[in-house]
Amino acid sequence: MSSVRERCLPAFAWDTWVAMRKAQVAVVRASGYELGSVRPAVERALDLIGGLESVVRPGARVFVKINHLPPPSPPERGIITHPKLAEAVLTLLRDLTPHIALGDDIHPANPDGFTVSGYRELCRRLGVELVNLRERGFVRVPCAGVVLREVFLARAVAEAEVLVDLPKLKTHSLTLFTGAVKNMYGAIPAGLRTRYHGEYPKPAEFGQLLVDIFSVAKPHLTVMDGIMAMEGAGPANGTLRPLGLVLAGRDAVAVDAVASRIIGIDPFRVGTTKAAHERGLGVGDLQEIEVLGEPTFAVAGRDFRLPPIPAGEIVGWFPQALTGFVTRRLRPQPKVATKRCVGCGACAAACPTGAAQLRAGKARIDRRRCIQCMCCHEACRFGAIVLPQSRWALVLGARRRR
């Protein structure tokens, strides 16, 4: 069967046609993670945007970047890209090429994270190479970014001919929303990720850094897991919210824009979407995006709970003289729920400033050293790092919506 490219246009005109058309995002319902439900949803989503063969030429080297947030957690927690969605994508890719690898950067641990999540068994069964990015190494890539001038990019990502992005639809306590663009943050070394959190704690600046990395690792295809989303204090300690959706597109920024709209967030409130759109790295303006399949109003997640307001998000809401005063009262300050803390040390390992430490077998957070990067909150799998909201934040929280 010929591809859309072969059927519609000669090769020399293809790139021009893609540049002139609206960005397309498919939104398809999926009742659950049973393969009989998720595979048809993925197939339909890909067909709506032109078919997988329009992205992957036969025999191409493909790398599939999942969201495998550490430490280890099973897919039922809703923190990682569900392996059943990945299986649906992988089985379709195998019809086009045998050269497929899948992975993320995870810390070697006992138990093994890929075993806990089910990815090790999945890749063994399908004959797909499973890659821990840190074991394959990283390469220095020039970057004409706003923050970065070079990026140490995972070799598996840099050497792939086709990059497929499988993000999870979740809220995020620092960046408000995490999806396709932020998923590429996992393509750089873990040590740098921790360092950058410390060096660029303001959400707007950190968002520009994320887009810098995205600019040198732009996916050719994005398939987003929105079947079981996460609301509230994501990306690891929020509340699961069934949306029953698969989103797909060739423009990762557009996929993020549509996903954020579905959960009631103005796309340009998401720093990565706004920055990427302004830099011409994708389309974040909904008027320039063609939504295929289900219209966003028909699948919208009503009253989707957002995380506490990041301090940097309110800059510009008030006169400059009042910004510092209001920021201090809105800034979410991570605290330890001592009864839930098991003393695993994940928060201390993730903290870029040393504010989170273990003392007498329990986590403690030094407020003077804390930069509110939320790494400790993201790392904790026991709900022991909480983000209490001030009354000011509760009153102003509605401003972030439509």
What's the average model confidence in pLDDT over 294-312?
Answer: 83
Is the pLDDT at 317 greater than 70? The verdict is: no
Q: Which residue has the higher pLDDT, 146 or 194?
A: 146
Quickly state the pLDDT bin for 256 (edges 50, 70, 90).
very high
Task: State residue 373's pLDDT score.
Answer: 80
Residue 391: its pLDDT value, please? 55
Q: How far apart are CA 220 and CA 312, in angstroms?
A: 31
Say how far apart CA 269 and CA 302 lie, in whole Å.
Answer: 18
pLDDT of 100 strictly over 60:
yes
Among 94-98, 306-310, 327-331, which is the least confidently predicted range?
Answer: 327-331
Q: What is the pLDDT at residue 3?
A: 40
State residue 400's pLDDT score.
45
331 confidence band (pLDDT: 50, 70, 90): low
Report the candidate in 175, 195, 186 with the shortest Cα–Cα distance to residue 353: 195
Name 223's bridge partners: 248
For the segment 1-13, the average pLDDT, to the nearest whole number, is 43
Q: Which residues partner with 384 through β-bridges? A: none
Instruction: Specify the pLDDT at position 6.
Output: 41
pLDDT at residue 60, as a whole number: 98
**CB distance 250 to 55 below 8 Å:** yes
Quick one: tokens of 273? 């979407």
Q: Are 230 and 240 in contact (CB under 8 A)?
A: yes
Q: β-strands 138-142, 129-132: how paired? A: unpaired
Find tokens 């319902």 and name the residue: 29
Instruction: Return the percentage of the chain with pLDDT > 90, whole number.
Output: 70
Would you say residue 81 has pLDDT above 50? yes
Residues facing residue 38 across a β-bridge: none
The more confident residue out of 311 and 242 is 242
Average pLDDT, the chain: 88
Average pLDDT of 99-128? 95
- How confident is the model over 58-83, as a mean pLDDT? 95
State the pLDDT at residue 319. Answer: 52
- What are 364-379's pLDDT values in tens digits? 999 889 887 888 888 8
Structural domains in the chain plus CATH codes: 4-299 (3.40.50.11440), 311-400 (3.30.70.20)
Average pLDDT over residues 115-137: 97
CA angle 105, 110, 113 (to 5 degrees): 35
Band (84; pLDDT cuts 50, 70, 90) = very high
**By C-alpha distance, which of 165, 164, 142, 141 is closest to 154?**
141
Average pLDDT over residues 248-277: 97
Residue 321 has pLDDT above 60, yes or no: no
Q: Bridge-partner residues for 130, per DSSP? A: 102
Identify the pLDDT of residue 82: 98
Give Cβ neighbours of residue 372 (< 8 Å, ≥ 6 apart): 174, 201, 310, 311, 331, 332, 333, 334
Residue 309 confidence (pLDDT): 62
Higher pLDDT, 105 or 321: 105
